Chain A
Amino acid sequence: MTATDVPISAEGNPIGFGRMHRKEDARFLRGAGKYVDDVTLPGMLHGAILRSPIAHARITSIDTSAAEAHPKVKAVITGQTLEGLGLAWMPTLSQDTQSVLCTDKVRFQGQEVAFVIAEDKYSARDALQLIDVDYEPLDAVVDAKHALDDDAPIVRDDLEGRTDNHIYDWEAGDATKCDEVFRNAEVVVTQEMLYPRVHPAPMETCGSVASMDPISGKLTIWTTTQAPHAHRTLYALVAGLPEHKIQVISPDIGGGFGNKVGIYPGYVCSIVGSIVTGKPVKWMEDRSENLMSTSFARDYHMTGSIAATRDGKIQGLKVDVLADHGAFNGVAQPTKFPAGFFHIFTGSYDYDAAHCNVTAVYTNKAPGGVAYACSFRVTEAVYLVERMVDCLADELGMDPAELRMNNLLKPEQFPYTTPTGWEYDSGDYPRALDEAMRIAGYDELRTEQAEKRRAYEAGESSMLMGIGISFFTEGVGAGPRKHMDILGLGMADGCELRIHPTGKAVVRLSVQSQGQGHETTFAQIISHELGIPPEDIDVVHGDTDNTPFGLGTYGSRSTPVSGAAAAVVARRVKDKSRIIAAAALECSPDDLEWEHGRWFVKGDPDNGKTIQDIAMAAHSSLELPEGVEGHLDATAVYDPPELTYPFGAYICVTDVDAGTGEVKVRRFIAVDDCGPRINPMIVEGQVHGGVADGIGMALMELIAFERDGTNLGGSFMDYLLPTSMECPSYELGETVTPSPHHPLGVKGVGESATVGSPAAVVNSVLDAIGVRAADMPLTPAVVWRAMQGSPLRMDLALE
């Protein structure tokens, strides 16, 4: 259905897909959103966490007596308290364990050591100063490249029999075949690169309010989670609380980007705090705690090699990765894939062979490892391949657009199985790249660039100009139960739809919005299927007592999985409405035809029943056929048959001052293909935000460390987010290639731009300065040093 076919409701909204203002905005605009820190309960106490100032140290003693004597302090919890409850350690989402409050030694700066509960938050913070901890410092492993050295200190001596910092080796592809392709290749280019440690840094930090009702034994926890149902099950498994006595409420969430997938020690402490004190306990981390202790992203040291013929036919790609997971392997991803979906690193091109090997190590840094809108490490994968293609173009002296165009998968190759086993569902890649080049005015840009370079070389100007391209393919919508689970929980999503007698509806989702606008988009999906105006459809989410089970919102999975569940559930209601309409019209269901929210008798369009009439009839005394129950509702669980594969072509134009190394992003062109767009306004907003993320990562964002493990990115003074001054106006385009296996054809878009944009920015800057490689973030210092031929390593402080 094209936008112009969509009927318009009395309130001016499309009855189905199309641009529509968001339903959730009414409260956000008035300051009436309800975020976790806005929850206040009678008698509520406040918690604060004492954190380690040192990256690696044995704790020899903790004296909490002075803190306990503080007049406003109600309790102090340490690792010892938790040990008594069996809660000093908790499982991570990737079958590792993580310390809740330290019992033996601290393993990263900012690790949780003690939890103070006081009458107000200022007193809780005051009391942290009164806790006396004796630390016996140990050497720290900070550089992942030395984590496997023989003399490296062992981070995880808590694990039985552990004598090194090795977590896993994982490979995909055919190493033998790949070696053969490389041996016979005319051209091989090898390049080391670091995708440095960055942080999702949503504007709202993480926190929770836990309230244990001592009489009913019911625990209610309001918490910043992208996956409320998964959290509930984990609390049941970890704490041994009966699952039906746990209600997880994820209210309005101030951005997630992967930061709010896992369970953090603070959440557990607030729960224990509520049990211990018998009062509700709120814990909200501050910004430094957020940046220093919660899930970081990337930290991938990659060495890529690309093989090709001299005339530019790409033949092979291989990569070795050293993955820094920090002190605990807290990565959230499907169990079978310890490196996430990194093996989609072959990207959008055709090869004879490909192979990757990922080795993961522990270091004395904060745990986590998959976050920041990365589609389970597709971000690292896309960065690798799109940088390698540019390195190859540089080696061959070819235009990077031409090299890409010659090697992109062709539409007739879909469905396409990659050398590492992914089955891409659909795509028309050359069309997307063409469209991006058309919007950019690619040839004119190259002409302008040549003139800028001439003037620079003639000493007339210090300004250079770069044009960078990135083409990405993502695999999203995790995932098929046959391949994917997290901690044994299959990645399907439930959905429930109820049509009230007057034809108004309520749809209950298992996923949760952190700003993606689900209250609008999912109403539009139901509206599209049933012809009910979106304003008549209420979307309920984020409360485990009131929604069906499902694994939550991350990895761009809401529309691919939960959106499909919503479509399926609406179709079930529609099927039933046909039977009821037939009963009311005294005809056979087969005699009915559907259009815009009503069933009518074929050949007699005036003789019909609207979905609203049918809803009333379904609840009335109308006699229904044998075996048909009254009312109009349905449930569904959607197990995606495969992932969906959104793709896009991005072009970034930068101006670089060669004198200072300063980069200005002049233009950013983003052509996205995420299948049909349910609400184009929301899709565009998702792309805008993702491009800004990419600009941030490419130019500014970095969590670096001192050699002793001191975190150098622990505040917004040090960890720089892009502001309105660094971001350009975005120029968007689209192509539409529906997914053949999704009921709505949609593919998911939440992370596309975060995944695709960093390589475009980096390629652009390097194109400007004529240097093959330099690592993010391309700060003025990095750019300037790269131009002098002495690149900087930014992830560690200088020795």
Chain B
Amino acid sequence: MITATPTQHEPKNYINSDYGIKSWLLTQDHKRIAILYLIVVTAFFFLGGLFAVLIRIELATPAGDLVDSNVYNKLFTMHGIIMVFFFLIPSIPAILGNFLIPLMIGAKDLAFPKINLLSWYIYVAGGVFTLYALMRGGVDTGWTFYTPFSTSYSNSYVIATGLGIFINGFSAILTGLNFIVTIHRMRAPGMTWFRLPLFVWAHYATSMIQVLGTPVIAVTLLLLILERGLHIGIFDPALGGDPVLYQHLFWFYSHPAVYIMILPAMGVVSEIISCFCKKAPFGYSFIAFSSIAIAVFGFLVWGHHLFVSSQSVYAGMVFSMLSYLVAIPSAIKVFNWTSTMYKASVEMSTPMLYAIGFIGLFTIGGLTGLFVAALGIDVHVTDTYFVVAHFHYIMVGGAIMGFLGGIHFWWPKITGRMYADTWSKLSAIIIFVGFNLTFFPQFILGYLGMPRRYHVYPPEFQVFNVLSSAGASILGFGYLLPFCYLLYSLKFGPKAPANPWGAVGLEWQTSSPPISENFEVTPVVTQDAYQYSTREEVKVG
């Protein structure tokens, strides 16, 4: 019933159950909606990457020879906006979470399939607004839209872009709402909270942030649009308003937003490491609760972005201390992953390479996060390349490594095809090397005092910038490789078995790709997750 018997014609699954563009655009199947997200998110990734390429070419030489400062401002702004709001935030939740959460908990679908489809359309609508602004000339405020520059002085399409992000936010809210209700109400019989895969715990924590944080950025952008359009004075010091209030509201969302990006990646890494060590993760409940702790602490630290923005010293000290607290649950995860690998027979598959890469890069990103959370050091490195390097280690080294690891791990399940093993391992290594070559020199640049967001710089910084640009070209090549061999596998890859990695999650108990209803019969769960030692098959009907 579970293992597909080799027959002449293909068994029914969610991909071949229906044909035609309409069957995709009007689908309510969470798996098909995940594919819709995958397509658009990938397009935004390469668009955002294109801006990064232009930035790195410009910075290869100290002089401003490719673009002038105005265009350069727009390049890094559009890069940031597209990567943060249209790639990183939806990437793992809306694609892998959407596809896997119902499968992992033994449900037929998310709780609200129509809302799930709606959230994709909202995401696309937000993207269209942003692309419109981009084509009209883009925005030059930085992705943070700091006032009063964005409201009074910037000569670019702030309102259209703001509206795009505002609209896009509702997509994240609805996805988070859908996940929370699904995890609460749609679990299969016997799937208790502490039998949930850690991927699901991570998404539960992520959804909490999306539901609590995103409305705040929505209202903040609404005020920003009102301020710019009607000049109501809320953020304008000339009318008694306070630009720093904007920063508080913005970072109240945008710091937790970092955890919207990294928590799902942590969930992916927990699954991969457990599978390729063939043992249960060390300290299951610690990893589960550390996700919740990160989500909760994440809401209490936004002030570390305002150390040099007229915030009081005492508030700064409190925010600094609270920021250090986030390191505890993060470190718990890192220690538990490494403990899981300790004395295990680790299988160095492609997903595992990404997972190990994640641990190393996230650790560097996290530790340098402590540098910038320290008041004294932050004053020195604020708005330098040190900060740029730090958050790229978290967002690119962490979130994108997790995303690629997850895509490689579940690709056979999603598409029913295997990809080329040598190519995928090679590209994982290329990406790791390219990433470090791109961003490690930026730590040094920042520490030496090179400010971010300038298109020209003193010649003594050139050697590190050339290293960084060289790394970026390797990294960009590394990203193109999976795009090619994964697409190739769709047509020419060997058919994937139901459980190619020998994993124990419920999603591996159904066929690859799964049938439209996910399982022939609603599964009954009789044991904890990650029972690699007993290896009893989980009963599926």
Tell me whether A and B are bound partners: no
